Amino acid sequence: MKKWNLDHLLTSFDSPEFQSTLIEIEALIEKMTTFATTAFQNTENALEKCKEFFIMSEELSTKMMKTGAFCQLTLSVDTMNEDARKYGNKMQQLGAKTTKTATLFSKWVPTIENLQELINQDPILKETEYYLNRIVEGSKYLLSDKEEIIIAKMQSTSSTAWGQLQGELTSNLKVDYDGKTITLSEVRNLSSDPNPEIRKNAYFAELASYPKIAPSIAYAMNGVKGEVNTICELRGFSSPLAQAVYQSRMNESTLDALLGAMRDYLPHFHQFLNRKAELLGHTNGLPYYDVFAPLGESKKSFEIDEAMNYIFKNFKTFSPGLENLARRAYDEEWIDFTPRAGKRGGAFCSNLHAIQESRILTNFNGSFGNVITLAHELGHAYHGDQIFAERLLNSRYTMPVAETASTFCETIVKNAALKDAERDEKIFLLDQSLTGSTQVIVDILSRFIFESEVFDKRKSTPLNERMLNELMIKAQKEAYGTSLNPEFLMPYAWLNKPHYYRGGLSFYNFPYAFGLLFAKGIYAEFIKQGDAFVNQVNLLLRKTGQMSVEDVALLVGIDVTSKEFWNSSLDVIVAEIDLFLELTNK
């Protein structure tokens, strides 16, 4: 069981460094609050005030990132850790104390009449030009100082707490399977087992376990979505989706083009699912318990070392820099690999600018799909490694571009594996790839539809477990059509995804589709241009914190407002579907 090492962040909650950093954070917050209260009364010496504020802000952010990340990462692998919860709550309270300073600065910047002139004459302000202009643009959504402080404090005991509840309940849920008790992550991993009886029994065991926690998590869903609806209305956003688009630094036309292309191409994905159902002996569409069933034959079952070596070899086909980053992540113990009681499910990567490193959580079980997950999360780490070269104020990128490097790295590994495979192995790899793409296009669309409905209905009524299940089934039927068996869907798909329970980040679904198709387009350009394109990709990743989504894409010659671009990326997947259909044609 290989676990990550957090010592480069902090060693323990009672260490002198952790405790002294907390004291330093409180002192810095007090210092910044005093500074902001007096300095932002007028715009005299605005240039020097901006620079001084930036220095303090980045120092504070660095310290808060170290302590906050240590709490969250510890909690993610040990959800009952009392110190992690206690100090995590402490960090939320300290974060709320920074709201007044941030609000004063955000209201002050737009009052600087010669802001562009100051930006043009000073290298630090020029470097942070996009950051400053976003503050000016976003000032229309700010509330009064008092209201902003109240919201920040209330969120720590509302949406944040609801999200923690969802994480704790799902991480510690006991699932009765085959005469023993296992974790939710372990039973969900069985969805890709080669044995059809194991997959089916695991599906029913998973379904049977959810009612134990569903009423509580339904309350969490209502709490989070109700809060977001209220705050969006107060700020003047037309909807939570409008807020998500704004936070994503993208235009509505870009999202419309993306979603329109996804809907247009659904029949191709339905073809894939129907053929998969046919191959598995089903006659009324594919039951949900066989969505992840492996097809074809692969002799590949990976130990952790084997999986990483496979990734190293294939990452090298893009660049030595990508391979070296993956080796560093493994050698320096950035990765927590295997499932265990108290560890949250799924996978994520946390980029830690404060120490110029990342940490990756997976629930690895040796399957090829888990190798792809590792490649995906290492892609996030590669994105982080590129953006660590930028100053902290320019390092915060948005949801859609967040999935670009990760999906690009998935594509590298999948394509490399597919290239030299024999027929049965090729079918296996195509199935794995297309199952992933189907999740990111079709299932993500169902989740987008579901979340839209939840936000809308939450305005007038709380939603109980039954209502949420019904909305999820309805959304799945709309996205999947008749390609899934309506008798065997996944009504509780709302319960196990932490993405729904983040008050500050709604609609964390469409960015996955954006990332997949954007990465497909970038990969196609890499194949055309070769090594010369690597530096352009690295530049794109570095600039994701300093540009809109549309402008970042233009760095590599892509127009994401055009439906034609999304169609061309989807055509790459359709070519895989056509090959799969050809190889499996009886």
- Taking CA atoms, 190 is separated from 177, 183, 478, in Å, by 11, 11, 26
Q: Please name the residues in contact with 258: beta carbons below 8 A apart, sequence gap of 6 or more.
A: 510, 513, 514, 517, 560, 566
DSSP 428-463: HHHHHHHHHHHIIIIIHHHHHHHHHHHHHHHTTS--
Determine the pLDDT at residue 398: 87
Region 89-108 average pLDDT:
92
Total number of domains constituting the chain: 2
Residue 559 domain-assigned (yes or no): no
CATH number of domain containing 79 = 1.20.140.70
pTM of the model: 0.85
Is residue 121 included in any domain, yes or no?
A: yes
pLDDT (0 to 100) of residue 345: 83
Q: 390, 419, 448 — which closes off a domain?
A: 419
**pLDDT band, residue 333 (cuts 50/70/90):** very high
Section 556-562 average pLDDT? 94
Contact between 396 and 361 (Cβ < 8 Å) = no
Percent of the chain at pLDDT exceeding 90: 86
**CA atoms of 218 and 495, how far apart (whole Å):** 8
Place of tokens 């292309």: 261
The rounded mean pLDDT for the chain is: 94
From 419, 453, 468, give the residue that closes a domain: 419
Closest CA to 497 of 560, 446, 539, 453: 446
Better-predicted residue by pLDDT, 229 or 149: 229
Its domain, for residue 63, covers: 16-155
Whole-number Å distance between alpha carbons of 545 and 387:
8
* Structural domain contains residue 29: yes
Residue 345 domain flag: yes
Cβ atoms of 242 and 507 within 8 Å: the answer is no
Q: Please indicate, yes or no, if residue 76 is contained in any of the structural domains.
A: yes
Residue at 389 is within a domain: yes
pLDDT for 420 beyond 80: no
In a domain, 112, yes or no: yes
When pLDDT is cut at 50, 70 and 90, the band that residue 565 belongs to is very high
pLDDT of residue 416: 84
Q: Distance (Å, rounded) from C-alpha 62 to C-alpha 25?
A: 10
Q: Which of 155, 174, 193 is the last residue of a domain?
A: 155
pLDDT band at 1 (very low <50, low <70, confident <90, very high): low
Model confidence pLDDT, tens digit, residues 173-228: 999 999 999 999 899 989 999 999 999 999 999 999 999 999 999 999 999 999 99
Give the three-class secondary structure for 357: strand
Which value, in Å, is the radius of gyration of the alpha carbons in the chain? 24
The model's confidence at residue 485, banded by pLDDT at 50, 70 and 90, is very high
For residue 161 the two structure tokens come to 């707490």
Instruction: List pLDDT tens digits, range 302-316.
Output: 999 999 999 999 999
Pairing of strands 357-361, 335-336: parallel
pLDDT for res 38: 95
